[in-house]
Amino acid sequence: MSAPAPVAGGAAAEGPLAIICGGGRLPGDIAAKVQATGRPVVMFAVKGWADPAVVAPFRHHWLRLAAYGTFLRLMRKEGCRDLVVIGVLLRPALRQLRPDWGTVRVVPRIVRAFRGGDDHLLTSLGRMLEDDGCRLLGAHQVAPDILAGEGAFGARRPVARDEADIALGLRLLAAMSPFDVGQAAVVGNRHVLAVEAAEGTDRMLARIAELREVGRIKLPRGVGVLVKAPKVGQDERFDMPTIGPNTIDAVARAGLAGVAVAAGAVIVAEPQEVVRRADAAGLFALGVTARESA
């Protein structure tokens, strides 16, 4: 899987980079990386999701989720063309949206976008943004070092049983891709224990911990792997699978052996802290190669 050429700075960069900022620390980390290249950034922080402490160090504007017209006006005023969407944003119900006047003109397109899975929604909204002059970029294009590399991140390595679980998990995720389900699964001793759906990775792992506690999962602690990979054909500008320190904590609570992600296709937030927590918990964390993913 080849990553698109980075465009954080240099001749390919045109004006400040706009970042639609959801929850978590990752938007701030990416903004800092881009700004370090000499390119200005403007954060468009989504009310109710973005963390004020993450946004504060950067030039920013606060927006409601459906304030599309306001966003376009501010983005043009700031001289932005390139746009990255990053951070936690859960899919709202249509009735929860409070569109501004600039959004009213695209309401039919928004309604059609909601008639499908998350990939359909995001791709449709991406086309709408591009039609209005935005150039959408993946976070990995402006900060390439956020992607998982190949091999082990820390001190621990998987054993043969773990490698078999990883291979099964990758095949499972690839097979589920046409159904737009999720980007993660838990496999233990070649048994599928859980598949990520609307609840997200952390809650899926919490479910594994609960199932162990009530005896529904009989495997001993230290058996089982969290596997994460993007859907086949996924638009990499949106919703790339991500792990971070909280993922490692959840894997430990679930009693698993470790986590494996598709190298070059999964974002690792706070990588040094990921390694520290994985080593402290006796877990492995690694990126699997494209050949292994296939």
What pLDDT shows up at residue 128? 79
List C-alpha distances in Å: 217 to 212, 223, 264.
5, 11, 32
Predicted confidence (pLDDT) per residue in 231-269, tens digit: 887 777 877 899 999 999 999 999 999 999 999 999 999
- Which of 89, 122, 144 lies at the terminal end of a domain, its last residue? 144
Predicted confidence (pLDDT) per residue in 263-273, tens digit: 999 999 999 99
In a domain, 24, yes or no: yes
In a domain, 22, yes or no: yes
The CATH number covering residue 112 comes to: 3.40.50.20
Give this prediction's pTM. 0.81
The CATH number covering residue 285 comes to: 3.40.140.80
- Output 163 or 104, whichever has higher pLDDT: 163
- Region 3-31: mean pLDDT is 75
Q: Is the pLDDT of residue 98 over 70?
A: no
What pLDDT shows up at residue 1? 36
In a domain, 1, yes or no: no
Taking all residues of the chain, what is their mean pLDDT, rounded to a whole number? 85
Predicted confidence (pLDDT) per residue in 50-61, tens digit: 999 999 999 999
What pLDDT shows up at residue 207? 96
Q: Cα 153 to the chain's mean position, in Å?
A: 19
Cβ atoms of 43 and 16 closer than 8 Å: no
Q: Is the pLDDT of residue 10 over 50?
A: no
Same domain, 128 and 216: no
Question: Domain total for the chain?
Answer: 2
The single-letter DSSP state of residue 289 is P
What pLDDT shows up at residue 11? 36
In a domain, 4, yes or no: no
What pLDDT shows up at residue 97? 54
What pLDDT shows up at residue 288? 96
Q: Which domain holds residue 95?
A: 17-144
Residue type, 68: Y
In a domain, 35, yes or no: yes
Predicted confidence (pLDDT) per residue in 162-212, tens digit: 999 999 999 999 999 888 788 999 999 999 999 998 888 999 999 999 999
- Which of 113, 144, 175 lies at the terminal end of a domain, its last residue? 144
- Which of 144, 166, 183 lies at the terminal end of a domain, its last residue? 144
Predicted confidence (pLDDT) per residue in 76-85, tens digit: 999 999 999 8
d(CA 27, CA 59): 13
Same domain, 120 and 186: no
What pLDDT shows up at residue 2? 39
Same domain, 91 and 180: no
